[in-house]
Amino acid sequence: MIQCFIFDLDGVLVNTSIYHFRAWQKIALQLNIPFTEADNERLKGLSREDSLQTLLQVGGMSIGQEEAEALLNQKNRIYLDLIAQIDESAVLPGVRIVLSRLKQSACPLVLASSSKNAKFVIQKTGLEDFFNEVVDGHQISKPKPNPEIFLTAAFLAGVQAKNCLVFEDAAAGVKAAKSAGMRCIGIGEKEPLKEADFVFSDFTRFSPEILFELYRSV
């Protein structure tokens, strides 16, 4: 029985990926590392720290801890400047309808995002009131695909992991959900999300009413 719904943020509920890409692109340019949108796909679901390490791998570089911390802080400042004007228009199609219907189920809804700016984003986009709990990058030490973020979400909701359903758009997030013993619906393209139980291109293709049909034999 599904008793809790857990949502990733970027790429699932809101479209902020372009802002992350532009921020990382500025850091890459500073480091003389070619960085394309295809490279940016490798950062999906990763923490800021792991994203920087992936960027450095793309450029075949290594740097010290002090320089890394400075770059991470710089990236966050750039990102915050870019999303300062974010509003409800950033919410992806179908999201509000799905959240509204799931909220009526009386099951807790939890936001679980590696982003340390998750609370700011849901406040600015008008999604804050849908969620009973929020787990963000400030509350976890192990990034996806480690299941810590989802296990923390289940704990805060007071629900066993096996009774949670996660919505994710990144392979690392799907792995984290399955490692936590949770069910998972992928939002996006099927191939990278093939480990999810089911995959929908976006929330306009998904309806809460089909959950029983999807999971009655799982």
| Catalytic center residues | 8, 10
Q: Is 176 exposed, middle or buried (0-12, 13-18, 19+ CB in 10 A)?
A: buried
Q: Is the peptide bond before 145 cis (omega within 30 degrees of 0)?
A: yes
Strands 109-112 and 133-135: parallel
Other beta carbons less than 10 A from residue 101's beta carbon: 12
Question: DSSP letter at 141?
Answer: S
CA distance 46 to 160: 25
Segment (H or E) for 199: strand 198-200
Residue 29's nearest CA partner among 99, 100, 78 is 78
